């Protein structure tokens, strides 16, 4: 039996309000001050500038993360994560067979232009 989904909404009340754009991770380092192991990633969004994101993408080796294109939500308020603040939400999904919260990236299959809008 299929699981229930969230209530139906309109494009105008949801997706249209999000500013989701392509970025490129230009640096990554392990962050140990958060509750669980996290990466601090600096992401270049082209004409939208660079922003810092903290995320639990730690199943990926750091050398695999640098240079990767990702999708980020640019118009969320910064989010406090313990002693650090994440400026952009990088989209991800549950990493297979990892503990809850460990993510893998949602990425374009090609080297899309930095700052390109998801539609």
Give residue-wise pLDDT tens across range 32-58. Answer: 998 899 999 999 999 999 999 999 999
Q: Is residue 113 in some structural domain?
A: no
Q: Is residue 116 in some structural domain?
A: no
Kindly report, residue by residue over 65-104, the tens digit of the pLDDT: 999 999 999 999 999 998 999 999 999 999 998 888 899 9
Our count of domains for the chain comes to 1
Range of the domain at 75: 17-105
Q: Is residue 91 in some structural domain?
A: yes
37 vs 25, residue with greater confidence: 25
What single string gives the DSSP state of each residue in 36-89? S-EEEEEEE-GGG-EEEEEE--TTS-HHHHTT-EEEEETTSPPEEETTEEESSE
């Amino acid at each position: 039996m299929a699981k229930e989904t969230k209530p139906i909404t309109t494009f105008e009340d949801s997706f249209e309000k999000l500013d989701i754009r392509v970025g490129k991770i230009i640096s990554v380092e392990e962050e140990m001050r958060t509750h669980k192991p996290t990466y601090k990633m600096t992401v270049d969004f082209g004409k939208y500038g660079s922003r810092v994101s903290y995320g639990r993408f730690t199943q990926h080796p750091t050398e695999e993360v640098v240079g990767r294109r990702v999708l980020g939500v640019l118009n969320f308020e910064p989010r406090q994560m313990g002693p650090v603040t994440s400026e952009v939400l990088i989209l991800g999904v549950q990493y297979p067979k990892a503990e809850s919260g460990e993510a893998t990236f949602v990425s374009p299959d090609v080297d899309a232009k930095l700052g390109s809008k998801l539609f």
